[in-house]
Amino acid sequence: MEFLAWIEQTTVGLWVRESTWGFPIALTLHAIGMGFLAGINFAFALRVLGVAPGVSLRNLVRFSPLMWSSAALSVFSGLLLLAAYPAKSLTNPLFYLKIGLIISGLVLISNIAAAVTVHFESKNSVLHGREKLSAVALLLIWAAAITCGRFLAYTYSVLTVG
């Protein structure tokens, strides 16, 4: 708890929590990062499942740099939000579930993107059931991560600063 109290009093924690624009800026950046990150994952998973067959999967893989930049923005803005109210999230099991889901989602999209690239390099454009199953898991993982994020605001039990 002493460590959490120290985080709350850092310049960053104070700025996000007590300045006029700190929290709105951090939350807006979080929403933008999350939207692009989950959005690109959803588009990719739906394409693997057969939606919009006219859109080339190879072209969708080109969104990778934007997806990873959005992931970085989500992490950066998430850390800002965390600095403002560290005890609120770090004492909530849902926060750790959310982080686990995010890591699983990022690992899964990397694996599916690598598998799809191998398919195209070997000139075999037919995807296996395994990739489709992974795409369904990807949709569920990101939906669950977003739900956990939203529910953090309603499920906390420790709030050491007002």
Q: Extract the tokens encoding 145.
A: 């991560």
Q: Are 114 and 108 in contact (CB under 8 A)?
A: no
The Cα–Cα gap between 47 and 78 comes to 29
Of the candidate residues 74, 109, 112, 138, the single one contacting ligand HEM (CB under 6 A): 74
Q: Are 21 and 99 in contact (CB under 8 A)?
A: no
Longest dimension (CA), the chain: 59
Of the candidate residues 4, 45, 102, 138, the single one contacting ligand HEM (CB under 6 A): 102
Q: 30 or 47: whose CB is closer to ligand HEM? A: 30
Determine how many CB atoms are found less than 10 A away from the CB of residue 113: 18
Taking CB under 6 A as the rule, does residue 134 contact ligand HEM? no
Q: Are 148 and 97 in contact (CB under 8 A)?
A: yes
Binding pattern to ligand HEM, positions 12-31, x when CB under 6 A? ------------------x-
State the number of binding residues for ligand HEM (CB under 6 A). Answer: 21
Amino acid code (one letter) for 101: L
Cα atoms in the Cβ-side hemisphere of radius 13 Å centred on 90? 16
Taking CB under 6 A as the rule, does residue 67 contact ligand HEM? no
Taking CB under 6 A as the rule, does residue 96 contact ligand HEM? no
Choices 7-15, 71-79, 112-120, 133-141 (CB under 6 A): range interacting with ligand HEM: 71-79
Which residues are near ligand HEM by CB under 6 A? 30, 34, 37-38, 74-75, 78-79, 81-82, 85, 88-89, 99, 102, 145-146, 149-150, 152-153
